[in-house]
Structure 1
Amino acid sequence: MASVWAMAAVAAALAWFLFIGLRARRSDEGLDDYLTARHSQGAATLALSFVASGLGAWILLVPPEVAAFVGPVALAGYAVGAALPFVLLAWVAPALRRRLPAGRSLTDYAAERFGTPVRLWVLGLALLYMLCFLTAELTALGSIVALLTGADGRWAMLAVAGVTLAYTTWGGLRASLATDRWQAWLLLALLAGVAALALTQPAPPGAATPSAPADAPLAVGLSVAATLVIAVTAANLFHQGYWQRLWAATDTRALHRAAWAGALVSAAAIAVVGALGIVAALRGLPLGQPPVPLFALVQQGPAWGVWAVLLLAVALVASSVDTLQSGIASLLVTQHRGATLAGARWATVLLMVPVLLVAWQGLSVLRLFLVADLLCATAAVPLLMGLHPRVPRHAALAGMLAGVVGAVLPDTLASASLWQGIVAATFPTNVPTLAPFAGALLASSAVALLLTWLDQARASPQRNGQRSSPT
């Protein structure tokens, strides 16, 4: 009976999301409005959208596990990593809106500032990251449904993909923004309810001694925290869904307020969910294999807690998936000058075919996800440096290439084998390690800064000579 009520709640939520999304479409919308909803959204709507888009089903799985097995320092790194992309968005928004008032994507900025090679590299990174994100969200939903109900989770995967595809195809970014408002409030309310339930449940009789340390050495916690901050921040810099909202904002002030609100709420949500993992470990609950501390807590309580978590998972996945669907379609369409509204809709539909085929298999995409994060880390700093007018094009491109070398270099030096360095940078154990991320970030930054300095040093004598020459 609990499973029936859970499925009914999920169906009702999806039906409501579909209704809201279909209503959001404007009768006179053109391609630009479909992709950007330009200058139409205030701070409150965008803040809720950032929260809904940034939090996915992964928060139910990864932060509790990290917190339970590594401790609060690593959890703090995760929370900071989730908040920093919004802080960066608030920082770069004024410059980008001035530079590209009619912009639609991050690739528009890359092309205008650095030319075609960097545009294509940024396009590839953004597509790889977002497709991995989309597949991982649907795969996680299938796993959560199977774990909580014992049913085949693929029905939920298809339902969420179908519903979000229907309203994003019909209404574009406006549909995603409209549903985000409801999804954000729903997921925050459910998150508060689930946390209250988990914290008020007494420890079961006969619980074992704490099943996870929750107090790993400080050096380990700091290493994990630094890795998560670099990986999450760099990858989300290439999330097209966030860049769409940059141009959807009514003005820079609204975007700035929304981004900071999204950062604070997202960090708080991750901190709360992660703390539940520590509680589960300290109560000595069996965390499962693979570990799922949050579910270990919830399954000790009443049946309604299970369907609340299931509904929370659906809201989290739907809010992420519709943003990714709209973002990927926007990214693809903006690469073609003759793109049409019909083409944008077809792109939205077609991109879901390979995603669903992979998600249907229930395969882990974690390793590919980590590689995508690492590649994003190779390009993040040079790309942002382009906001300064004195950074030459060749410095950014060389910095990105140096970042790839830097990702491989630490483990190459440690093992005295280039092959081992390459293998380590693909994360064969599915565990993110600091060395490749730190190497990518430091090498890309150092080379881009060095070439910029050399370019300025060469230019200074020329400028001085021009000033001293007779007129």
Structure 2
Amino acid sequence: MNALPIATVGGALLAFLWVGLRARSADTTLDEYLTARGSQSATTLGLSFLASGLGAWILFVPPEIGAFVGPVALAGYAIGAALPFLVLAWCGPAIRRRMPAGRSLTEYAGERFGGAVRGWVLLLSLLYMLCFLTAELTAIGGIVALLTGQDGRWAVLAVAAVTLIYTAWGGLRASLATDRWQAWLLLALLAWVGAVVVQAPAPPPASTAAAPSAPAAAPLPVGLSVALTLVIAVTAANLFHQGYWQRIWAAHSERALQRGAWLGAVTTAAAIALVGGLGMLAAQQGLPLGTPPVPFFALVQHAPDWVVAPVLVLAVALVASSVDTLQSGIAALLVTQRRQASLAGARWATVLLMVPVVAVAWQGLSVLRLFLVADLLCATAAVPLLLGLWRRTPRHAALIGMAAGLVGAVLPDAWAAGNLWQGLVAATFPANVPTLAPFAGALIASTAATLTLAWLAPAREPAAGR
């Protein structure tokens, strides 16, 4: 095996390990391990939101959307990725005031709506975050294999092991510390790699004839449909990312939280727009995009050979920054379900949860379809959960609204096909492509049901759940 990829990946991971281990607080308690309560500035939070939200997926999905669907859909993706941070800027302070000693989204759900909603939110969060974690580790193996021609599974183990060591040791503080450095590294490398591949010579006409370009843009209605689908799917799913909610309580103040969330939103949208624009460039140059298409790597393969090492560092930083946040977030979700949880239990939870994740990622299996189903389930529950911040919403409204969202996810395609089974199948995305009808149906039905119950609630009910 070529030593350069090992040295590149290993050097980046050792640097992250050093930063993470140094970040551990000397007097770590369980609360400190899970929340780093009241300790983080706006800039640190903004960089952490950027690093945690981005992952290796930005090297695959936005370029493909840019190449095959066009700028309108790409804009929808960028907005969808940024919108959860803006929601946190709006609702995070209210949840902090309601639960000043809180540690997780499930605690808020249980306190506001009861045990059934808390259990459902727990399942949704775990499903989404485990899919995200598995997909990121699978991606780093695929990227190493694609760029080096070697078996990339060693990279899966290396990233999982290193992030696990510093996350299990230092908790959320370690994740926040590495996020800060990883975010600056990501921004620098994205800008640098983008400049290099843009300036690289275009391929000769022969290669264009041999491998026709993807269309520069789909028709406007298609682009708008894809954009709206992505806004709903990405926003709803990321609202169940426990790693983001941990940072609500880590913020030094409400103002720091709001400013950090805005910084994360703007930088995330800019990063996705940049990488997606590279996908459009690959299509315009007529590069062979591959099967499945990977426009970003099609550009990299036509850049100078010395670009490979920085791209590997970029990929490792993207994966590590999202993986450590997910590890910390899942551990917090599990530990906060037990009143007598201990710091040792939190660390063991972090370690044990990685065993099945690494086992799946080692096989290189795609979890895309399961990911889409998780996104859809999150879309059925996001609005009812957030409407808990409205004092008039009764306790039973969220559970009924979420059930209505499940019906709404199936109903559009069932109605169009005249067959309930076809609606159920469509809601599982058999073609591995997100479609608008299930997401729009889930969002509209869940919102309508919850608002109706809130408006019908008697005037004396606003204090319910307090």
Instruction: Bin the TM-score by the shorter chain.
Output: over 0.9
Q: Distance in 1 between matches of 2:292 and 2:256?
A: 42
Cα deviations by residue, 1:329-368 (Å, 9 ceiling, x for unpaired): 0000000000000000000000001101111111100000
Structure 2: distance between partners of 1:454 and 1:246: 32
Give the aligned residue type for 1:355: V
The 5 A counterparts of 1:79-98 are 79-98=78-97
TM-superposed CA distance for 1:7, in Å, is 2.4
Residue-pair matches, total: 459
Match of 2:260 in 1: 258
2:249 — aligned with what?
Answer: 247
Kindly provide the amino acid, as one letter, of the partner of residue 161 in structure 2: G
Greater C-alpha radius of gyration: 1
Matched, 1:396 2:398: yes
CA-CA distance at 1:394 after TM superposition: 1.2
Q: Match of 1:407, as an amino acid?
A: A
Q: Is the CA contact 2:76–2:227 (under 8 Å) kept in the aligned structure 1?
A: yes
Q: Could you tell me the TM-score, scaled by structure 2's length?
A: 0.97
Alignment map for 1:104-115 (pairs within 5 Å): 104-115=103-114
Correspondence list, 1:53-452, <5 A: 53-206=52-205, 207-208=207-208, 211-452=213-454
Q: CA deviation at 1:208?
A: 1.4
| Per-residue CA distance 1:125-163 (angstroms, 9 max, x = gap) | 000000000000001111111111011111001000000
**Cα drift, residue 459 of structure 1:** 7.5
- CA deviation profile, 1:357-396 (whole Å, cap 9, x unmatched): 1111111000000000000000000000000111001111
Q: Are the equivalent residues in 2 in contact too, given 1:405–1:440 (CA < 8 A)?
A: yes
- Aligned 8 A contact 2:394 2:461 in 1: no
Mapped partners of 1:431, 1:359: distance in 2 = 21
Q: Check conservation: 1:30, 1:341, Cα contact below 8 A.
A: yes
What is the alpha-carbon root mean square deviation over aligned residues?
Answer: 1.3
Runs of 4+ aligned structure 1 residues displaced above 3 Å come to: 456-460
Give CA deviations for 1:224-259 in whole Å, capped at 9, x if unaligned: 000000000000000000000000000000010000
Deviation at 1:118, TM superposition (A): 0.3
For residues 461 and 213 of structure 2, what CA distance do their matches in structure 1 show?
A: 62
Give the aligned residue type for 1:4.
Answer: A
Q: How far did 1:454 drift?
A: 1.4
Q: CA deviation at 1:456?
A: 3.9
Mark the runs of 5 or more structure 1 residues left unpaired by the alignment: 461-471
Partners of 1:353 and 1:179 in 2: how far apart? 23
Please state whether the residue corresponding to 1:141 is helix, strand or coil: helix
Q: Which residue of structure 1 aligns with residue 7 of structure 2?
A: 8
Q: Give the superposition deviation at 1:308.
A: 1.4
Q: Distance in 1 between matches of 2:331 and 2:459?
A: 43
Between stretches 199-208 and 294-303, larger displacement belongs to 199-208
Kindly indicate whether the alpha-carbon contact (under 8 Å) linking 2:392 and 2:461 is maintained by their aligned counterparts in 1.
no
Q: Aligned partner of 1:291: which letter?
A: P
Equivalent-residue separation in structure 1 for 2:315 and 2:386 (angstroms): 34
Given that 1:75 and 1:274 are in contact with CA atoms closer than 8 Å, whether structure 2 keeps it comes out as yes
- In structure 2, distance between residues paired with 1:456 and 1:267: 42
Structure 1 SS opposite 2:457: helix
Task: Give the TM-score, by structure 1 length.
Answer: 0.96
**What secondary structure does 1:208 align onto?**
helix
Distance 2:354 2:259 in 1: 33
Paired amino acid for 1:149: T
